[in-house]
Amino acid sequence: MPASQPRSRARDRNNVLNRAEFLSLNQPLKGNQESRSSSRKQSGQAGAAGAQNSNPKERRQSQQLPEEDCMQLNPSFKGIAFNSLLAIDICMSKRLGVCANTASSWGSARSMINLLGITGHGIPWIAGTLICLVKSSTLAGQEVLMNLLLALLLDIMIVAGLQKLAKRKGPYDVNPGLLDYLTMDTYAFPAGHASRAAMLSKFFLNHLVLAIPLRILLVIWALCVGFSRVMIGRHHITDVLSGFVFGYLQFRLVELIWMPSNTCQMLISIW
């Protein structure tokens, strides 16, 4: 026994794994184990607390997310058709906006196109109607002019209300002019100039005796005023087309509420 003890001690001294730098390979340090176990316990407790604090609504929402994703990835046929038509409308409107700025292909003609758009603005038409109403001396002329003034005021209010509801912006970042702010024509849908031009052309075709060339020129003027707004980048094509439709509907509305001559004379006398 005394001889075997020195031999075992010498064997332990000669063992490389018994050195201090290799002790961690044989048995991990207690401090590391305690720190790791404490961190695991803390993370587990935090996860449990988070799971307990989560509301039932959030759990239901997390369960419904895959279904919502499936609905977004599989839209209906109407949604696909609407988005496709909307993309085509935006693309074609940007291509036709040849006078949107001075750097465009027709940038030099922008002032002339703006002048054409002013001929369909509400403020010049209202001012001209009031001047003609003051100078008119016939009952028939005053009746037509009073109803025309009513149609112009209705057009401004209806278009402004629809634009506030839709709040659609134009294809280009073009700031509205001073006259546009006066008539609250700041959004794109529907095109106020197009609705006004369509309403005026239909009104004049029904209540004025015009030769055939003048009637054709009146229709061409309404079309040019409408599509000039696309050329300067203020409206989309669908905005102008919808403006034509709303202009015709406004004309029909004025025909339904047409003020007779007695009513017009009473309003003129009050004014």
- Asked if residues 200 and 210 have their Cβ atoms less than 8 Å apart, the reply is no
User: DSSP letters of 91-109?
Assistant: HHHHHH-TTSSTTSTTGGG
**CB 166, CB 189: distance < 8 Å:** yes
- Domain presence at residue 29: no
In a domain, 69, yes or no: no
> Residue 191 has what pLDDT?
92
Least confident of 50-64, 142-156, 172-186: 50-64
User: Sorting pLDDT into bands at 50, 70 and 90, what band is 151?
Assistant: very high
Q: List Cα–Cα distances, 265 to 90, 141, 208, in angstroms.
A: 48, 11, 20
Kindly state the tokens that stand for 84: 């496709």
Catalytic residues: 193, 235
Is 117 a domain residue? yes
Query: If you compute the radius of gyration of the chain from its CA atoms, what whole number of angstroms results?
Result: 39
> Has residue 231 got a pLDDT over 80?
yes
Q: What is the pLDDT of residues 61-98, one digit of tens each?
A: 545 544 444 445 556 777 788 788 888 888 998 888 88
Please write down the HEC assignment for all residues of 126-163. HHHHHHHHHHCCCHHHHHHHHHHHHHHHHHHHHHHHHH
Number of domains comprising the chain = 1
Q: What SS3 state is found at 3? A: coil
Rounded CA separation 102/108 (Å): 6
Check residues 102 and 140 and name the one with the higher pLDDT.
140
Which pLDDT score, from 0 to 100, does residue 204 have? Answer: 95
Confidence of residue 270 (pLDDT cuts 50, 70, 90): confident
The distance between the two most distant Cα atoms of the chain, rounded to a whole number of Å, is: 145
In percent, how much of the chain has pLDDT > 90? 38
Of 38 and 142, the one with more pLDDT = 142
The rounded percent of the chain whose pLDDT value lies above 70 is 72
Q: Is residue 116 part of a domain?
A: yes
In angstroms, the CA 103 to CA 124 distance is 29
Q: Are 22 and 16 in contact (CB under 8 A)?
A: yes
Residue 135, token pair as written in the block: 């100078």
Domain membership of residue 7 (yes or no) is: no
pLDDT recorded at residue 157: 93
Residue 113 sits at the vertex; the CA angle it makes with 118 and 131, to the nearest 5 degrees, is 20
Q: What is the pLDDT of residues 236-246, one digit of tens each?
A: 999 999 999 99
User: Does the model's pTM come out above 0.75?
Assistant: no
Q: What is the DSSP letter of 234?
A: S
DSSP assigned state of 177: -
State the residue range of the domain holding 208. Answer: 109-270
The predicted pLDDT at position 23 comes to 52
Among 49-53, 79-83, 166-170, where is mean pLDDT lowest? 49-53
Structural domain includes residue 173? yes
The per-residue pLDDT for range 90-123, each reduced to its tens digit, is 899 888 888 888 777 787 888 888 889 889 998 9
Q: What's the chain's average pLDDT? A: 79
